[in-house]
Amino acid sequence: MEAGPHDTDQQQRAADGASGLSPDGPDDQDVLAEQVEVELRPARRLRIWQLAPIVALAAVGSLMFGFPLAFGTGGTGGAGAVVAMLGLLISCCAAGWGVMAARRVGHTWPGLPPRGSGERPDWRVIALYAGMGALLVALAVWRVARLR
């Protein structure tokens, strides 16, 4: 014998030939031939025309940062350090622009919860990101300061 209550109603319908379950799809009379489902909003993703100015600005900024540091002779009176810091500033602006564009389409930083989920981010992940950013800024400033 089976344990638990028996559904005599279900057994009665099974004996009559009606399963009591509907098929997965709609009934044939409910389907309209000309009905087409269309997504109202396009997929949220970064397009090439959105990425091109960000990448171009980052490339210009990194070249401005790299060339005076690599080929600076020091005889220009500190102009190489100014150009390098300007390139660093432009590169950081491009990075921020890229992060904001990615956030707008729904991307998140690894280890952080999705936007609007209501979850709190882990403090260790925040501390790791802040430490990495501070380290990169300190290394860049130290490298430019060595030009003088």
Looking at per-residue pLDDT, the higher value among 32 and 103 belongs to 103
Is 4 within the bounds of a domain? no
Range of the domain at 72: 46-109+136-148
pLDDT recorded at residue 20: 47
In a domain, 97, yes or no: yes
- Is the pLDDT at 25 greater than 80? The verdict is no
DSSP H helix total and E strand total for the chain = 4, 0
Model-level pTM? Answer: 0.57
Structural domains of the chain, count:
1
Measured CA to CA, the distance from residue 39 to residue 3 in angstroms comes to 49
In a domain, residue 37? The reply is no
- Dig out the tokens for 43 from the structure: 């997929």
3-state secondary structure of 20: coil
Closest CA to 140 of 76, 97, 92, 94: 92
